[in-house]
Amino acid sequence: MAKTTNGQHDSSPFNGRTRSPTSISKPAMQPNVKEVVLGNLWINTWYPSFYSEELVGKVLDRLYVCQWCFKYTQNLVPYIDHTRLCQYRDMPILGDPIYHKEHFTIYEVDGDEHKLYAQNLSLFAKLFLDNKSVFYDVTTFRYYLLVFNDPALDPPSPQVVGFFSKEKLSWDNNNVACILVFPPWQRRGYGQILMGVSYELSKRERRLGGPEKPLSELGKRAYVYYWSGVIARYMATLPEGESTTLRAISEETYILPEDVISALKHMRIMEPCTGDEYSHIVNRARVRAWAVANGVGMESPIDVDAFLIRESRIEEE
């Protein structure tokens, strides 16, 4: 069993019953589960989750989580028995595939249709997130699962390696409520794929939006890197010597103006001009020099032709 350091509910969670808590208080930052077993991986946790105290007590040394359905137990024997019989082991991933590229597929899962799955996924994710709190009322969210089909395995065994969730109706036009790549698969560019898909969906919905704020420090760094790359690639399409404005970048990339500002400040290439802050001039040559210096490639993390859903379907919704 490999170990990594990076990275509804009653005392018998494998029975599939649910129990919602009457109240949830903000936990201390010390994890209430020290480590979790997911498939053949042994992962140290970062933050507390809202697993029932009846199950984990004040602190639990190890929690066993099914790699296919995310149901959980503190005991090894029930875990082994469940993984042998899990209904999701030899069947397609829940939901509808919306994106497929090489060894990756993204599935859209409705939290209302698959409530238990969404709750268990959210509880597992909270072990690695410090500021999210939606775990039981999942019916108003959609979940977008990033599934990796390892070509080295025979037979193939699709594995959820990360996801983002999104409110079905967001008054703030947030295109992401929660986003996470599980620790064993971090630092491989998978988060950039999830971000790219979330923005492409926003573009097809004709909605200017961004991730729910506030972002964690790790989340902010990841998004600033993503925004910076998108801006650099957009600027590369402009004629040689041409500059543009912050407002124009936002309209073309569907990145919120304030997020464009965050990225440009990080890149240190925003030039002031008269007028409002959204009229700041952005110089193409300086963006190109920044991209070269920071090793930012001109290839997008996603392929728009790899989407499996029609734009008209999104517009109708």
The residues annotated with a catalytic role in the active site are 212
β-bridge pairing 178-181 and 174-176:
unpaired
Instruction: Answer for the pair 223, 195: CB distance below 8 angstroms, yes or no.
Output: yes
Count CA within 13 A, CB hemisphere, residue 248.
Answer: 12
Mapping DSSP onto H, E and C, the string for the chain reads CEEECCCCCCCCHHHCCCCCCCCCCCCCCCCCEEEEEECCEEEECCCCCCCCHHHHCCCEEEEEECCCCCCEECCHHHHHHHHHHCCCCCCCCCCEEEEEECCEEEEEEECCCCHHHHHHHHHHHHCCCCCCCCCCCCCCEEEEEEEECCCCCCCCCCEEEEEEEEECCCCCCEEECEEEECHHHCCCCHHHHHHHHHHHHHHHHCCCEEECCCCCHHHHHHHHHHHHHHHHHHHHCCCCCCEEEHHHHHHHHCECHHHHHHHHHHHCCEECCCCCHHHCEEEHHHHHHHHHHCCCCCCCCCCHHHECCCHHHHHHC
